[in-house]
Amino acid sequence: MNFKLIFGILATVLGIISFWPYLKDILHKKTKPHVYSWLVWTIIQTVGVLAMIKGGASFGALGLAVGTLFCITIFLLAFKYGTRNITKLDTFLLISALIIIVFWLIQKDPLISVILVTIIDTIAFMPTYRKTYLAPYTETLSAYYLLASANLLSIFAIADYSLTTTLYISTLVVTDTIMIFLLIFRRNVILR
């Protein structure tokens, strides 16, 4: 029995499931995605999947590949349903992420590519973290639980462990977990 395949399939299924509450909450105008974050995530999810496949991640890239399709959908929905709370810092972070993406495009080394993608993803989270700190009910908590779990399963599905194949997906687990704690903390503060 190929356990890597099983973990890859589980990560993919959980990844798909994780986006449903998020999409539902967007359409019910509860979740307000940050268009800048989702633009960058759409670009780098694609980059991350390609780098993982090139680096030997095999089935570990399945969940991320499906996630790319959802990123595109959420990015498009963000124009109509997303937050209008966009600051100069958000714009600076977007431009920074896009500049780093250009460096990725001229980079040939898979490890450096993954490092750049990891930096870009973390920068892209900053506008969403800021927005969420101010308005913690504009994100779907359950989606981040499910995404963190799916990304963790993807790590177990990786065929060849190296910095190239694990850095990006590991960072996704960390950034999703930070969002979980931020949402819980800020919601508790508001309830007091």
- pTM of the complete model: 0.87
- According to the model, what pLDDT value does residue 73 have? 94
Q: What 3-state class would DSSP assign to 189?
A: helix
| Chain CA centroid to CA 145, Å | 12
- According to the model, what pLDDT value does residue 53 have? 78
Q: Are 182 and 129 in contact (CB under 8 A)?
A: yes
Candidates 125, 72, 74; CA nearest to 97 is 125
- According to the model, what pLDDT value does residue 34 have? 97
Cα separation, 51 vs 45, in Å, equals 10
- According to the model, what pLDDT value does residue 50 have? 76
Per-residue pLDDT tens listing for the chain (192 residues): 688 888 888 888 888 898 999 999 999 999 999 999 999 999 888 877 776 777 777 776 776 777 788 999 999 999 999 999 999 999 999 999 999 999 987 888 889 988 998 999 999 999 999 999 999 999 999 999 999 998 899 899 888 899 988 998 999 999 999 999 999 999 999 877
Cα separation, 183 vs 74, in Å, equals 19
**Residue 75 Cα distances to 26, 41, 55, angstroms:** 11, 9, 27
Structurally, the chain folds into a number of domains equal to: 1
- Measured in degrees and rounded to the nearest 5, phi and psi for residue 92 equal -60, -45
Q: Domain range for residue 164?
A: 3-191
Q: What 3-state class would DSSP assign to 85?
A: coil
Cα separation, 126 vs 122, in Å, equals 7
Cα separation, 85 vs 35, in Å, equals 10
Cα separation, 153 vs 105, in Å, equals 28
- According to the model, what pLDDT value does residue 60 have? 65
